[in-house]
Amino acid sequence: MILSPRPALNAIAPVPPPTATDGTTLLEVHELTVAYGPKVAVDKVSFDIRRSEIFGLLGPNGAGKTTTLSAIEGLRRPRSGTVLLNGVDIVRQPALAKAQMGVQLQSTGFQSELTVRQVARLYAGLYCVAMSGQDLDAALTDVGLGRELDRTTKQISGGQQQRLSLFVALIHHPSILLLDEPTTGLDPQSRRYLWTRIERVRNGGGSILLTTHSMEEAQAVCDRVAIVDHGRVLAIDTPRNLIDEHRDDPLVRAAARGEVTLEDVFIGLTGSEIRD
């Protein structure tokens, strides 16, 4: 279409948030505009994310992906437009909205002298998640960090740091998980592991919004994607529908080398020029 649960780990139960009006939409972004002084980075962007959906935000460098994500996270105040999470306005009720989010940034920022176990315990405390030491160790073992519990975060690999980052982002079982280029720099095994984990989140009733430069990743794991450029949404649909709709477009055919892929559609819509 062209446009302009898992049970909580003994968590202290929060007050249930209001639900989205139609019963299926979790996140609603409407006419979102974000500017840096006179420069408009996000220009009237609108999309929605459904419950139990993996939604990809795709675009070249400077397209506005990370700025959009920052506005949804409440880190940057929009010039205009609204973002509703479970019916909660992220500008008017930021604390209630943020309590329902899990965020994994592109690079981790854990204190280098803390051990894996200490980081996990710290975030469990911050989110008021009551877990025994034994349960916490078991949960870390489940995500492949059982042998790293007493190692500091500076002693573990990049892939292990990403696993720890994802673990703490999900420790309070948020309604939506926000991922900014989560597989950048990961080897194929670590990338596939992360895909499996976010699919488990989706299958357990959670929703995921991720930005990525990898069209392979988007085509493999995303239920729907939005292609953005110059701060505007160019198209939203499933990867397969976008491929089917644009496979005969001249610019897409020119980009294709064999069977048309999502990357060919992306190049056809956003251009082949290299972005800084």
Instruction: Give the neighbor-by-neighbor strand order of the sheet with 232-237.
Output: 101-104, 176-180, 207-212, 54-58, 224-229, 232-237
Instruction: Give the CA angle between residues 42, 252, 230 to the nearest 5°.
Output: 10
Domain range annotation of the chain: 103-173
Q: How far apart are CA 182 and CA 188, in angstroms?
A: 13
Question: pLDDT value at position 162?
Answer: 87
As averages over each run of 10 residues, the pLDDT of the chain (276 residues) reads 38 37 80 96 97 96 94 95 96 95 80 93 92 94 95 91 92 95 85 90 94 91 96 97 96 94 96 83
Distance CA 177, CA 79 (A): 24
The answer for residues whose C-beta is within 8 angstroms of residue 252's C-beta and 6 or more apart is 246, 260, 264, 265, 267, 268
Contact 218, 29 (CB under 8 A): no
Q: Report residue 197 as tokens.
A: 């984990």
Distance separating alpha carbons of residues 274 and 83, to the nearest angstrom: 31
Nearest to 205 by CA among 176, 230, 229, 226: 176
Q: What is the pLDDT of residue 106?
A: 66
Q: What is the pLDDT of residue 185?
A: 79
Helix axes 116-126, 133-142, angle to 10 degrees: 110
